Amino acid sequence: MNYFEGNEFFLFLLAVLIIGFIINYFEKNKEYFIIFVSLFLVGNIYGKSITMLLYLMLFLIFQYSLIVFSQKTTKACQTILVGLSVVPLILNKLFALTQFHFMAFIGISYMSFKTIQIMLEISDGLIKEKINLKDYLQFLLFFPSVSSGPIDRSSRFLEDIKSSMTRKDYLELAGTGVFRLVLGMFYKIVLSTYVYQFLFSLTNTGTIVYSIKYMYLYTLYLFFDFAGYSLMAVGTSNILGVQTPMNFNAPFLSVDIKDFWTRWHITLSTWLRDFVFSRVLMRAIKKQLFKKRLHNAVYAYIVNMLVMGFWHGISVSYILYGFYHGVLMAAFEIYQKKSSFYKKNKNKNWYKLLSWFVTMNLVVIGFFIFSGEPYKLLKVILRK
């Protein structure tokens, strides 16, 4: 069994959603039922590998200890503890380059960002109430989003999980949830599989035509696969009475690169905006790293997107992908602020259409870099 894969999981999910529907319909407390299901799935899925289960347990104990200490210590110590909370993820990415995959378990990237969010908000004074072990495990191991997001915020999630909706509001949310779940299954099981067959059938000829076909097909495959999973996660959450945030909002309608990152992997981009970009920018301004605010913003965009690249993994393709989008975001920031042409034409339909066309092709090139295919392509060209 694995999350949102195979007949066994979906049959189990059906039973869970029926029980969850009954609990919410009668406006009963749902948190103990959900944590029981989440822990049951942890036992079944992570328990297939004793090593993976031990790594998960070690991670949970280590991070919860940091949270407990952080709520009892000074601001200076909290900063150190925030740094320590990043260590498991860094070790996981570093050891992924070797044959010894230390701290390798399903969902470590998403769980790490959830824990870092808690630590940073404790340090900022936004979280003052004690986070008990049950709430911590509920948040990190919430089964619809544990392996691939969306990345929720602890305060919002815990408020949802502890409250009961009126029957009318719940039925509306559950109806939306069923639609999202079915649409997500169609995206992931049907459309992503269909596109992947075309992608898999391509032969690397080392030509521009091959590259164009690959980058567009890969972009479609990535969207249907990831957006499909996200929709299933959100739809499942909704039926259970939890309003997990959406992760995609028609990204292929984006008219510029900033617009794209408000539509694609929304929970990741907003997490990075709140906890990386804004902090890097304010620190750069405070330290007067650059004389002009625009230059500080450019610097913050590049750092922000490089963190996004490293979050995916320490490989050339991921790091270049992050740097590529950092440069695009920085360049667009300069263009927005400095270009009279942009200010004069940004609201005109012809400009929006042209900007959309350019943006989509830049996005597709980015996913081509992300896929790692350019390096395979280079090898084929060098053999000729």
Residues 6 or more apart whose Cβ sits within 8 Å of residue 345: 351
- Tell me phi and psi for residue 221, to 5 degrees: -60, -45
Name the token pair of 358. 């350019």
> Which band of pLDDT confidence, cut at 50, 70 and 90, is reported for residue 372?
confident
The DSSP symbol for 262 reads: T
pLDDT score of 189 = 93
pLDDT tens profile 303-356: 999 999 999 999 999 999 999 999 999 999 999 999 999 999 999 999 999 999
Percent of the chain with pLDDT over 90: 83
Q: What is the DSSP string of 306-352?
A: HHHHHHH-SSHHHHHHHHHHHHHHHHHHHHHHH-HHHHHHTTSHHHH
Global confidence as pTM: 0.92
Per residue in 33-78, pLDDT tens?
999 999 999 999 999 999 999 999 999 999 999 999 999 888 889 8
pLDDT digits (tens, 9 = 90+) for 202-260: 887 777 888 899 999 999 999 999 999 999 999 999 999 999 999 999 999 999 999 99
Other beta carbons within 10 angstroms of residue 384's beta carbon come to: 6
**Spatial CA neighbour of 114 closest among 133, 142, 90, 92:** 142
* Cis before 251 (ω within 30): no
What is the distance between the alpha carbons of residues 261 and 352, in angstroms, rounded to a whole number? Answer: 17
The reported pLDDT for the residue numbered 100 is 82
Q: Distance between CA atoms of 297 and 337, rounded to whole angstroms?
A: 11
Query: CA–CA separation, 215 vs 188, rounded Å?
Result: 19
CB 145 within 8 A of CB 271: no
Best CA proximity match to 320, nearest among 300, 303, 306, 331: 306
* Catalytic residue selected from 101, 265, 295, 312: 312
Tokens 């986070």 sit on residue: 131
- Per-residue pLDDT of 103-128, as tens digits, reads 889 999 999 999 999 999 998 889 98
312 catalytic, yes or no? yes
Rounded to an integer, what distance in angstroms lies between the CA atom of residue 224 and that of residue 230?
10
